[in-house]
Amino acid sequence: DIVMTQSPLSLPVTPGEPASISCRSNQSLLHRDGSTHLDWYLQKPGKSPQLLIYLVSNRASGVPDRFSGSGSATDFTLKISRVEAEDVGIYYCMQALQTGFGQGTRLEIK
């Protein structure tokens, strides 16, 4: 089974400052079609999760460009260039080869 590990699990950030979340898998997420199946989701308080990033670095429709994803194979990063108050919530990475989520990273405003 593919295991996803995120860090940190809690991330206090000052508005306007950058933030970074790491996600690692115990197996390569390279799909047979050549793409890497790693997504990022944000669950805002009291809301359903929403897709932020798919295939490592592609922003979903409507996602601000302050969000960016990078990485390859087993090591991935979500970056927020300048955190805003509306970015509060729990961020999950997800491997889409078999489907499975990381533990989640709770971003809070300092």
Q: One-letter amino acid identity for 84?
A: E
Q: Are strands 105-109 and 10-13 parallel, antiparallel or unpaired?
A: parallel
What is the distance between the alpha carbons of residues 90 and 41, in angstroms, rounded to a whole number?
Answer: 8
What number of chain residues touch another protein (CB under 8 A)? Answer: 28
Beta strand pairing call for 75-80 and 19-25: antiparallel
Q: Which one of 37, 69, 71, 74 is in contact with another protein (CB under 8 A)?
A: 37
| 16 vs 32, beta carbon nearer another protein | 32
CA distance 80 to 75: 17
**Is there binding between residue 32 and another protein (CB under 8 A)?**
no
The one-letter code for the residue type at 81 is S
Footprint on residues 45-104 left by another protein (CB under 8 A): 48-51, 53-55, 60-61, 90, 92, 94, 96, 98-104
Question: Which parts of this chain interact with another protein (CB under 8 A)?
Answer: 1, 31, 33, 35, 37, 39, 41, 43, 48-51, 53-55, 60-61, 90, 92, 94, 96, 98-104
